[in-house]
């Protein structure tokens, strides 16, 4: 909690490049700063339709709205408003010129300015974290890098997340109840459950075939997205949302898109999580489940460096069999390799991989979470607070 005489006014600004991760991360951070750090948060987003997909309470046409005590504003409102005490631009999005001018006019004594960057396990991140980038007008913008080591800004993690997951794990009926409320049939007894939320990837047929031919039944939960078409191709039918079908040992279910608040339950319900991008990747680590990460593809193949950098950290303490099985599976998934053999080896090592995932989660949880580190970073060099009594324009709850 910040030790200021008035709640800190914090602006988060998010430009949706594509998919759901940009606003997904911004939304998590906004709520955590509000609920755990007592900030008054304004979240400016340029694509409220995408926001509404992960948070159905959002009304895309509204000029201003308050959801879960966070003030949500369309991107263009920057033009009319003064910045708060802290400004966090998400992922290097370009703020509107009028807003930048007002940050500069108020100056470093009044505004702390951060650029929250993308997550990477690469070594250079430690050196770049909290580096200042001098801006015209004599104000510094600080780079804030999430990461997996103590010298980075850490990962988003709500204070009660691991306790909630632990009580879910202790409650055998939790999965059944969650699945029923999503309209999904319970998986066959002793079935392996696999959650599929990845980018497009050809060559899925051998993987699906391997699951269909396996002695252990498998239930595959397919999230909305490009993989649905791949699966439909293999099935030679269109699987509608909520529909299930069976091929040999494999039951396939097409999931609805769930609100972000419920996404963790899908991960917790699965024995193996295929995740992607940034936010689902981090949540799978907090779920402490065996996972396969599909990195967000970059033109210059930079994502493969990110993949290798993460695998180095993730598997540093792993036993050789786990190391080899996970590396082979992740590389095959990301590099378009043949999946059948890698999957069979991965499944053969599942109990050890699960123990490894739990140990990794414990190791990560020893680090302070990202929101707390961000709050500490702005406290380290506090700017003079704005007038205590005046509520921020654009921060009033809607009547
Ligand atoms: O959606 P992503 O691919 O997001 C991003 C963006 O593409 C971004 O531009 C890029 O920079 C980044 O990846 C690396 O994957 P991600 O990050 O996992 O975000 C998905 C979000 O969607 C996450 O917050 C969980 C949420 N989600 C739901 O709320 N409900 C669902 O049913 C599903 C499947 C996901």
Mark whether 185 and 39 lie in a shared domain. no
Q: Is residue 169 part of a domain?
A: yes
Task: Verify that 134 and 202 share a domain, yes or no.
Answer: no
The structure tokens listed for 154 are: 């850490």
Claim to verify: residue 170 and residue 319 sit in the same structural domain: yes
pLDDT confidence of 373, banded at 50, 70, 90?
very high
Query: Does any ligand 1 atom lie closer than 6 A to the CB of residue 22?
Result: yes
CATH number at residue 373: 3.40.50
> 239 lies in a domain?
yes
Which domain does 88 fall in, by range?
9-155+367-381
- For ligand 1, say whether the CB of 21 is within 6 Å of any of its atoms: yes
Whether the pLDDT of residue 4 is over 60: the answer is no
Does 116 contact ligand 1 (Cβ within 6 A)?
A: no
CA of 278 to the centre of ligand 1 (A): 7
Residues 255 and 347 in one domain: yes
Predicted TM-score (pTM) of this structure: 0.95
pLDDT band with cut points at 50, 70 and 90 for residue 292: very high
Residue 85 resides in a domain: yes
User: Does some domain include residue 332?
Assistant: yes
pLDDT (0 to 100) of residue 391: 56
| Whether pLDDT at 372 is above 60 | yes
Tokens of 361: 């989660």
CA of 21 to the centre of ligand 1 (A): 3
Q: What is the DSSP string of 336-357?
A: T---HHHHHHHHHTHHHHHHHH
pLDDT at 109: 85
- pLDDT given for residue 188 in this prediction: 87
- Looking at the predicted structure, is the pLDDT value of residue 150 above 70? yes
Residues 188 and 318 in one domain: yes
| Alpha-carbon separation of residue 399 from 39, 65, 283, 395 (angstroms) | 21, 10, 35, 12
Phi-psi region of 394 (alpha: psi -120 to 50; beta: other; left: phi over 0): left
For residue 280, the ligand 1 atom closest to its alpha carbon is 18
Would you state the pLDDT for residue 392? 62
Distance 277 CA to ligand 1 centre (A): 6
Tally of structural domains, the chain? 2
Clarify whether residues 39 and 20 are in a common domain: yes
Ligand 1, atom nearest to 20 Cα: 1
114 and 205, same domain (yes or no): no
Is residue 238 located within the same domain as residue 151? Answer: no
Atom nearest to 260 CA in ligand 1: 29
Buried b (16+ CB within 10 A) or exposed e, 188-222: eeebbbbbbbbbebeebeebbbbbbebeebbbbbb
Minimum CA distance residue for ligand 1 atom 12: 277
108 and 239 together in one domain: no
Q: Is 117 a catalytic residue?
A: no
On average, the pLDDT of the chain sits at: 93
Taking residues 14-40, report their average pLDDT.
Answer: 97
Q: Residues 85, 89, 117, 278: which is the catalytic one?
A: 278
- Same domain membership, residue 301 and residue 223: yes
Q: What percent of the chain has pLDDT over 70?
A: 94
Where would I find the beta strands (DSSP E) of 255-383? 272-276, 291-294
Residue keyed to tokens 């005489």 = 5
C-alpha distances in Å from residue 140, one per residue of 42, 107, 152, 252, 383: 21, 9, 19, 52, 12
For residue 2, the model assigns a pLDDT of 41
Q: How confident is the model at residue 381 (pLDDT cuts 50, 70, 90)?
A: low
List, for residues 296-329, the tens digit of each pLDDT value.
999 889 999 999 999 999 999 999 999 999 999 9
pLDDT of 27 over the 90 cut: yes
The tens digit of pLDDT for each residue in 172-193 reads 899 899 889 888 889 988 999 9
209 or 384, greater pLDDT: 209
Identify the band that residue 342 occupies on the pLDDT scale cut at 50, 70 and 90: very high
The number of helix segments (H) and strand segments (E) in the chain equals 15, 14
Average confidence (pLDDT) over 70-97? 96
Question: Does one domain contain both 175 and 323?
Answer: yes
In this prediction, residue 395 carries a pLDDT of 60
Do both 237 and 337 map to the same domain?
yes
278 assigned to active site: yes
Report CA(98)–ligand 1 centroid distance (Å).
30
Residue 38 inside a domain? The answer is yes
Higher pLDDT, 389 or 282: 282
Tell the residue nearest (CA) to atom 13 of ligand 1.
Answer: 277
């Amino acid at each position: 909690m910040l030790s200021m005489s008035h709640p800190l006014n914090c602006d988060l600004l998010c430009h949706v490049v594509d998919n759901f991760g940009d606003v997904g991360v911004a939304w998590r951070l906004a709520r955590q700063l509000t609920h755990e750090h007592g900030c008054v948060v304004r979240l400016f987003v340029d694509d409220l339709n995408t926001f509404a997909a992960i948070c159905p309470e959002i009304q895309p046409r509204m000029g201003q709205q308050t959801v879960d005590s966070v003030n949500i504003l369309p991107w263009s409102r920057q033009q009319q408003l003064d910045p708060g005490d802290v400004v966090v631009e998400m992922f290097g999005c370009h703020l509107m010129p009028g807003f930048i001018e007002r940050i500069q006019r108020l100056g470093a004594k009044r505004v702390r300015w951060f650029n929250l960057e993308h997550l990477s396990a690469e070594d250079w991140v430690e050196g770049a974290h909290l580096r200042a980038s001098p801006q015209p007008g004599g104000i510094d913008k600080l780079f804030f890098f999430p990461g997996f080591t103590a010298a980075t800004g850490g990962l988003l993690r709500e204070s009660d997340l691991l306790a909630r997951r632990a009580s879910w794990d202790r409650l055998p009926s939790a999965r059944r109840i969650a699945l029923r409320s999503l309209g999904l049939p319970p998986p066959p007894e002793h079935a392996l459950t696999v959650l599929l939320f990845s980018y497009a990837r050809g060559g899925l047929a051998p993987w699906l075939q391997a699951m269909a031919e396996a002695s252990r039944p498998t239930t595959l939960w397919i999230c909305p997205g490009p993989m649905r078409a791949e699966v439909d191709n293999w099935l030679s039918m269109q699987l509608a949302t909520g529909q299930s079908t069976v091929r040999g040992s494999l039951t396939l279910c097409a999931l609805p898109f769930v609100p972000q608040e419920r996404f963790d339950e899908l991960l917790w319900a699965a024995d193996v999580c295929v995740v992607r991008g940034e936010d689902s990747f981090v949540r799978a680590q907090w779920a402490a489940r065996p996972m396969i990460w599909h990195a967000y593809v970059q033109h210059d193949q930079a994502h493969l460096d990110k993949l290798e950098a993460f695998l180095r950290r993730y598997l540093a303490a792993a036993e050789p069999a786990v190391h080899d099985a996970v590396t082979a599976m992740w590389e095959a998934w990301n590099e378009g390799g043949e999946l059948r053999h890698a999957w069979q080896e991965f499944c053969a090592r599942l109990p050890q991989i699960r123990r490894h995932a739990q140990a990794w989660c414990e190791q990560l949880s020893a680090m302070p979470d990202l929101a707390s580190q961000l709050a500490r970073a702005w406290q380290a060099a506090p700017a003079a607070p704005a007038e205590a009594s005046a509520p921020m324009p654009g921060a009033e709850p809607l009547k």
